[in-house]
Chains A and B, each alone.
Chain A
């Protein structure tokens, strides 16, 4: 495939791997946190870690929208279907995320609840048009990348006077989460997690640009390289980070220049600012309450806000006992440190959110990484 194969070239990968091996100082460790689940997925799918020297490791960050949504919000969504008999439209991955009491949207659907899997906000609007007698709710999740389509859907609903349509808004913000990780005691004081540098998000940065990361580079003295999602992007970005670390620099560099600019997509930003605004605080699975880390629907558009329309309560819900998703999301623990991993928790029967999405660290470890664990066991024995 033209325009894609170029970013997956075996020859270039080999050269880059040689370059990294040459430049990485064998006397130290390089711990690079990839914030995005998309990067985690690419690293496992193409076997990128294997092409790295032993002292360069990827630390998996919390950038998986399905993973960071707290259980209480999924309980809210289930409540909407069960108590209000609405049509709930959601992206496929959300269906399998475990909610309280071992429930899930998939189980609610099987029991007769009207839960529909959609591919875009436009599908949800179409369902609303076709079912004027039913309340249709779009379960909006995701980082900055998926936010503009939600804003467009709300504007469209207003223009069309689609009074039966509303949005359950769960959009979260990347920079706030990165800052939270850097400020967490695990990183700052206890030094349980060592993060030397960040691979910055690809798609998120197409919207917000590279400017929002400049603060981290400067304030926390951590290099950031905005990296594309192709495996060569990941490797090139790793090399750029290693160079920064070696030279004692901490800057924001942009590897993904074919799409990302410093200012980002100004039009999309304006659109989002018109319809959505910052929440004072939002709960993240793994990170807890994070100030100014999520968006809600602005009051002029409140009629399309499912939280207002259905007076949704705040639900406090605990993770399954023993599930290490919270610590895995912060990079404190690896999936294999969790007692549930691979024993009772598998992609077929997920106990925690990190095992559900293909962008989740546990699912990636399980699907692509078991082989290496088995081999490590063998060589240790």
Chain B
């Protein structure tokens, strides 16, 4: 159903202009020759303003996530792949199998079409690899200076398997706290590529879709209590959220938390605490202590959970404190992130 346009979109030297968001022919061409071409699937090709599909039986989940990261391209990923992984993960953290995604683009006038194509291609690749198609979308253009290249909002829907009831308020005293791998890699990779902060590191973002790992986890242990991906604010902030939601405290053991040498070194240099540095391909799991070993075994057998570890336990505490026994042998509270460690990392 290819429409005919007098000239093909100049994906090499062209730039986004106001007409690409105006609803006219230029916008139709951008959608056809860029978005539909890359995201290609039956639902999108119908060309409607919405995607219409059969809902599978069971409970549906829905989640949305805006992406404003700077820089747009970073070691181990880019805003496109991140926008796909981020929403798939938010859906998956309910234990759900993600089904479909939508994508909303806010483009800044003057943004190179070549860079946009690189982002869209990366998004399409990530969505194909994950088996979760982008089935509807929207494009708007804002004047030069009113955006920062491109902002992407993605929404996902998924379906929760029978018997799975995962929620942030279900942590119980004695529960085990697991993490799927080394923390802080995404944040450090982003920082290393910041214009004013360049430093050499081979560290790459851990950006990844976690739904397949989650699927194996819920198959092995349908009774998992909580799942959450520690993105902005890092492990520390996510655990505080869960502690608050459940009305519980937590006790962590710093020595048990997996961290890469390079992340530790970069954080040392920049004066940051790796517990507060963002992740995009890690999850925290809280479960009955009796299920912990079975889960760790399943996680470690999956490429995205090879370094999974048990890092602490849930305790009764009306103050909701997350405490940690430090490697040094002292103990301290691991508080919420105050303010920002760094701007715009996801």
Interface set of A (CB-CB < 8 Å, partner B): 1, 4, 8-10, 13-14, 44-51, 96, 117-119, 123, 126, 231, 346-348, 363, 366-371, 374
Q: Are A374 and B328 in touch, CB under 8 angstroms?
A: no
Provide the bound-state CA to CA distance between A347 and B339, in Å: 7
Q: Which residues of the partner chain B approach A44 to less than 8 Å between Cβ atoms? A: 332
Indicate if the CB atoms of B335 and A1 lie closer than 8 Å: no
Query: Which 6 A-B pairs rank lowest in CB-CB distance, beginning with the nearest?
Result: A47-B330, A347-B338, A371-B333, A10-B329, A46-B328, A367-B335
Contact of B331 among A9, A50, A118, A126 (CB under 8 A): A50
Cα distance, A200 to B343, chains bound together (Å): 34
Residues of B within 8 A of A231 (CB): 328, 330
Query: CA of A51 to CA of B330 in the docked complex: distance in angstroms?
Result: 7
Q: Which residues of B contact A47 (CB under 8 A)?
A: 326, 328-332
Report A-chain residues with C-beta under 8 Å of the C-beta of B331.
47, 50
Report the minimal beta-carbon distance from A311 to chain B, rounded to whole angstroms: 31
CA distance A117 to B338 in the complex (A): 17
Q: Is the CB of B323 within 8 A of A371?
A: yes
Whether A10 touches B327, Cβ cut-off 8 Å, given contacts A348-B338, A367-B333, A368-B333, is: yes
Beyond A1-B264, A46-B326, is A374–B335 a contact (Cβ under 8 Å)?
A: no
Closest A residue by C-beta to B271: A358
Q: CB within 8 A of B268: which of A1, A10, A46, A346?
A: A1
B49 sits at the interface (CB 8 A): no
Contacts of B273 in A (CB 8 A): 45
310-325 of chain B: CB within 8 A of chain A: 319, 321, 323
Within the complex, the shortest CB–CB distance from A38 to chain B, in Å, comes to 10
B332-A45 in contact (CB<8A): yes
Residue of B nearest to A8 (CB): B328
Give the residues in chain A near B319, CB-CB below 8 Å.
370-371, 374
Residue among A46, A48, A50, A371 having the largest count of chain B Cβ atoms under 10 Å? A371
In this complex, the member of B265, B273, B333 whose beta carbon has the largest number of chain A beta carbons within 10 angstroms is B333
* Nearest-neighbor residue (CB-CB) of A347 within chain B: B338
A205 to chain B, nearest CB (A): 19
Q: Are A4 and B328 in contact (CB under 8 A)?
A: no
User: Which of B265, B329, B333, B339 is A96 in contact with, Cβ under 8 Å?
Assistant: B339
> Taking the nearest CB of chain A, how far is it from the CB of B324, in angstroms?
9
Q: Tell me which residues across on chain A come within 8 A of B265, comparing CB atoms.
A: 1
- Residue B54 lies at the interface, judged by CB distance under 8 Å to chain A: no
Q: Is the beta-carbon distance between A46 and B196 smaller than 8 angstroms?
A: no
CA distance A348 to B339 in the complex (A): 6
User: Contact check: which of B197, B327, B343 meets A119 at CB < 8 Å?
Assistant: B197
Q: Does B10 contact A (CB under 8 A)?
A: no
**For B328, what are the chain A residues with a Cβ–Cβ distance below 8 Å?**
8-10, 13, 46-48, 231
Least distance between B241 CB and chain A CB atoms (Å): 15
CB distance from A233 to the nearest CB of B (A): 12
Quick one: closest A residue to B265, CB to CB? A1
**B153, chain A: closest CB distance, angstroms:** 23
Which of chain A's residues have a CB closer than 8 A to the CB of B339?
Answer: 96, 347-348
Q: Is the CB of A8 within 8 A of B327?
A: yes
- B196 and A368 contact, CB distance less than 8 A: no
With A367-B338, A368-B335, A374-B321 as known contacts, state yes or no: A50 contacts B197, CB within 8 Å. no
Q: A119 CA to B331 CA in the complex, in Å?
A: 31
Which of A4, A14, A368 sits near B332, CB closer than 8 Å? A368
Contact B329 A14 (CB under 8 A): yes
Name 24 A/B residue pairs within 8 A (Cβ), A-sorted: A1-B264, A4-B268, A10-B327, A10-B328, A13-B328, A13-B330, A45-B326, A46-B330, A47-B328, A47-B330, A47-B331, A48-B330, A51-B330, A96-B339, A118-B196, A126-B196, A347-B339, A348-B338, A348-B339, A363-B338, A366-B335, A367-B333, A370-B319, A371-B323
**Chain A residues within 8 Å of B264, by CB:** 1
Chain A residue, CB-CB nearest to B197: A119
Q: Which residue of B lies closest to A14 (CB)?
A: B329
Considering only CB atoms, which chain B residue lies closest to A117 in the complex?
B343
Q: Is B162 an interface residue (CB 8 A)?
A: no
Interface check B261, CB cutoff 8 A? yes
Within 8 A of A (CB), among B257-275: 261, 264-265, 268, 273
Give Cα A126–Cα B197 distance, bound, in whole angstroms: 13
Contact A13 B332, CB 8 Å, known A347-B338, A374-B319: no
B 256-299 binary contact with A (CB < 8 Å = 1; else 0):
00000100110010000100000000000000000000000000
Q: Which residues of A contact B196 (CB under 8 A)?
A: 118-119, 123, 126
- Smallest beta-carbon distance B287→chain A, Å: 25
Q: B residues 54-109 with Cβ under 8 Å of A?
A: none
A9 to B328, CA, bound (A): 6
Query: B323, B332, B333, B338: which contacts A46 (Cβ < 8 A)?
Result: B332
Q: Report Cα–Cα, A363/B339, bound state, in Å.
A: 12
* Cβ–Cβ < 8 Å partners of A348 in chain B: 338-339
Considering the complex, give the chain A residue whose CB is closest to the CB of B267.
A1
Contact of A51 with B332 in the complex, beta carbons under 8 Å = no
Other 6 A-B pairs with CB < 8 A, given A10-B327, A231-B328, A367-B338? A4-B268, A13-B329, A47-B328, A48-B330, A119-B196, A363-B338
Give the complex CA separation of A371 and B321 in angstroms: 7
Residues of chain A lying within 8 A (CB to CB) of residue B329 = 10, 13-14, 47, 51
Closest Cβ neighbor of B323 among chain A residues: A371
Q: Which residue of A lies closest to B321 (CB)?
A: A371
Which residue of A has the minimal Cβ distance to B343? A117
B329, closest chain A residue (CB): A10
Q: How far is the CA of A366 from the CA of B339 in the complex (A)?
A: 14
Instruction: Report the minimum CB–CB distance from B211 to chain A (whole Å).
Output: 34
In the complex formed, the residue of B with least CB distance to A363 is B338
The distance in angstroms between the C-alpha atoms of A161 and B1, with both chains bound, is: 62
Question: CA of A369 to CA of B334 in the docked complex: distance in angstroms?
Answer: 10
* Complex CA distance for A231 and B338, rounded to whole angstroms: 23
Contact A370–B197 (Cβ < 8 Å): no
Q: Which residue of B lies closest to A374 (CB)?
A: B319
In the complex, chain B residues whose CB is within 8 Å of the CB of A50:
330-331
Tell me which of B261, B321, B323, B332 contacts A1 (CB under 8 A): B261
Min C-beta distance of B254 to chain A, whole Å: 10
Shortest CB distance B154–A (Å): 27
Residue in contact with B321 in the complex, picked from A14, A363, A370, CB distance below 8 Å? A370
User: In the bound complex, what is the Cα–Cα distance between A47 and B273 (angstroms)?
Assistant: 15
In whole angstroms, how far apart are the Cα atoms of A49 and B328 in the complex?
Answer: 12
Question: Residues 185-205 of chain B: 1 if any A CB is under 8 Å from the residue's CB, otherwise 0?
Answer: 000000000001100000000
